[in-house]
Amino acid sequence: MRDNESHNNINRVVVIGGGTAGWLAAGVLAAKLSAENSVTLIESPVIPTIGVGEGSWPSLKDTLLDIGISELEFLSVCHGSYKQGSSFANWRKGEHKYYHPFTEPAGYREIDIHAWWQAIAPTEAYENAFSIQAAMCEAGKAPKQATTPDYAHVLNYGYHFDATALATLLKKHCINKLNVTHVVGHIASVNSHQNGYIKSVVGDNGHVTEGDLFIDCSGSNGLLIDKHFKVPWVSVEHIMLNNRAVALQVPYSDNDSAIESTTLATAHPCGWTWDIALQHRRGVGLVYSSQLASDEQAYKTLINYVSRRYPKALAEALTPRTLAFEPGHREHFWVKNCLSLGMSSGFVEPLEASAIAMVELGLRMLCEGFPQTQEHMTIVSKRYNQRFRYRWRRVIDFLKLHYVLSDRDEPYWRAQRDMATVPESLRELLTLWKYQSPSRLDLIENEEVFPSASYQYVLYGMGYRTLPNSLRLSEEDRQKACNIREKLQQTKPSYFQALPSNNALLKSLAERYATSDLVNSQCPSGQTDKASSANDASKDNGNINNNVESYRDGTPNKKDTQYDRIGFR
């Protein structure tokens, strides 16, 4: 390669691999880059997408907006439902349960919520002291009304969705609306410039695709980042012990079709189950360690759990899918002109659904500093690698926190909280949090994967004790805290009345979609949705605040600018 080629523009983006990560990358880049740029996606005709990760954070609303997909179409085609956070059952003894909602406690940025919770509402669960979202989830309420605009919210939310259907929807939209070039075939070889940058990839049919920036979304295969560049995988299995999951797609029973709006994580003697409610089925799986449980034991545990709501004989007839993984991440995520995203970049475990969020964070950083030349790319790739090494450490710390705080006695749980498996960074924070509650001062990035409010929900939901701080609690702040709680109590009845149930709202949206111009026979289809209710959600029962900014002409602004939400912005 000639020296002056390092100053050539970066115009041609090639995405390797389909699935959710690949098509999200293609969609975001095709929507955001100028007309001078092109996006090509190459995917194998035979390698199936994993299609298990069916939960998102609120950030997916912004991502889908950027790509140009309507929320109505997304929810209908992908059998989606609203996710208002996570709920945890039996992670401590005594049928313990708590919530990690997506909305910050009211007043979180104004007063010391932990201190005033202990001062004026110590007998109340932390998630209920300055928030009503957990109560709404417990009551089966949706986070918005039928008249709330697309992507706006009354209570903050992400989604549960059929991951395979989402990949198909994204693929169709990218090809038909965003002019993404789609190539089907296996990658047979890679051609490089003299400086090691990738020049082109060659398919098994001889087709050559040249590019300036290559994005490896080929999953655990790591076709470019691993097979070509040989970037090592940094295993964290000594910290995050889980390395297996067994999953089932569970139909609803005729007499049990309630659609929950949290991902329910239930602890069991040998691991924990996720339970995700879609419109047409549930996605249920058990996460465990092959060192601490056999596949047979894990399967029996999953069947016993599913049988609580679904006949055991029918559950045993379902086809399980077992996934093996090594928790960890790449030593480097961006090498020369190859950026890895999705499972080719890193994966720890399904807890708290960070996988898609890390893809979104990667795309956000790429777009905000999109390289114009190879000289520019050298700098932005270095910064990207530094930022994402930090972010993976934060993901590991936050997920490990859930296990460390458990008091269950089984060998699996004792092994998970063995201090020899706890990173020094988390041990230091736990010691710090004995004396002061988590705050922005503990987490220094401007886009933290998990903000301090999330740490507080988990810590105090799991019964962790922080000593009162040495500062005097002012009468002014006392009055402010009491006013916040009083306003929440006054608001709660109107929310109970005005918010429809999840089933009712989703049924109303499905009916609206069926008569809209968005319907296309090529979209993914499935079984009859179970989003049904005797209530009619098409008519809102009262007015409540819809968090949506507007342009001067009154049309909804595409970005949610409210600052009450958990998750990066």
Summarize pLDDT for 242-273 with one digit per residue, the tens.
Answer: 999 999 999 998 877 889 999 999 999 999 99
Summarize pLDDT for 341-364 with one digit per residue, the tens.
Answer: 999 999 999 999 999 999 999 999
Summarize pLDDT for 139-171 with one digit per residue, the tens.
Answer: 999 999 999 999 999 999 999 999 999 999 999
Given this model, what pLDDT does residue 531 score? Answer: 42
pLDDT tops 50 at residue 452: yes
Average per-residue pLDDT for the chain: 90
Handedness of CA 413, 353, 21, 391 (dihedral sign): negative
Largest Cα–Cα separation, the chain: 75
Q: Which residues contact 92 (CB under 8 A, 6 or more apart)?
A: 405, 406, 407, 408, 462, 463
Q: Which residue has the tokens 């960070």?
A: 354
Given this model, what pLDDT does residue 76 score? Answer: 96
H-helix segments, 250-290: none
Given this model, what pLDDT does residue 566 score? Answer: 52
Given this model, what pLDDT does residue 539 score? Answer: 58
Instruction: Tell me the DSSP string of 26-93.
Output: HHHHHHHS-TT-EEEEEE-SS--------B--THHHHHHHHHT--HHHHHHHTT-EEE-EEEEESSST
pLDDT tops 60 at residue 559: no
Average pLDDT over every residue of 406-413: 98
Summarize pLDDT for 35-76 with one digit per residue, the tens.
Answer: 999 999 999 988 666 655 589 999 999 999 999 999 999 999
The β-bridge partners of 248 are: 284
Distance CA 416, CA 405 (A): 10
Distance CA 446, CA 122 (A): 31
Given this model, what pLDDT does residue 518 score? Answer: 78
Given this model, what pLDDT does residue 553 score? Answer: 33
CB-based burial of residue 567 (10 Å sphere; 0-12 exposed, 13-18 middle, 19+ buried)?
buried
Structure tokens that stand for 232 in this block: 């090592």
Q: How confident is the model at residue 536 (pLDDT cuts 50, 70, 90)?
A: very low
Summarize pLDDT for 293-322 with one digit per residue, the tens.
Answer: 999 999 999 999 999 999 999 999 999 999
Given this model, what pLDDT does residue 51 score? Answer: 54
Distance CA 245, CA 289 (A): 8
465: three-class secondary structure by DSSP: coil
Given this model, what pLDDT does residue 46 score? Answer: 82
- Higher per-residue pLDDT: 519 or 110: 110
Average pLDDT over every residue of 429-458: 91
Distance CA 58, CA 2 (A): 45
Residue among 175, 172, 181, 187 nearest 219 (CA): 187
Asked whether the beta carbons of 299 and 223 are under 8 A apart, the reply is: no
Q: Which residue has the tokens 């920036």?
A: 213
Question: What residue type is 231 in one-letter code?
Answer: V
Given this model, what pLDDT does residue 522 score? Answer: 44
Buried b (16+ CB within 10 A) or exposed e, 531-561: bebeeebbebeeebeebbeeeeeeebeeebe
H or E element in which residue 167 lies: helix 163-177
Q: How confident is the model at residue 427 (pLDDT cuts 50, 70, 90)?
A: very high
Distance CA 143, CA 546 (A): 10
Average pLDDT over every residue of 418-432: 97
Distance CA 522, CA 408 (A): 49
Handedness of CA 301, 305, 308, 312 (dihedral sign): negative
Average pLDDT over every residue of 383-389: 97
Name the strands in the sheet holding 328-330, side by side, starting at the edge strand that comes first in the sequence.
Answer: 233-235, 328-330, 346-347
Given this model, what pLDDT does residue 270 score? Answer: 98
Average pLDDT over every residue of 370-397: 97
pTM of the predicted structure, to 2 decimals: 0.92
Question: What residue type is 245 in one-letter code?
Answer: A
Q: Which residues contact 521 (CB under 8 A, 6 or more apart)?
A: none
Q: Which residues contact 206 (CB under 8 A, 6 or more apart)?
A: none
Distance CA 274, CA 302 (A): 10
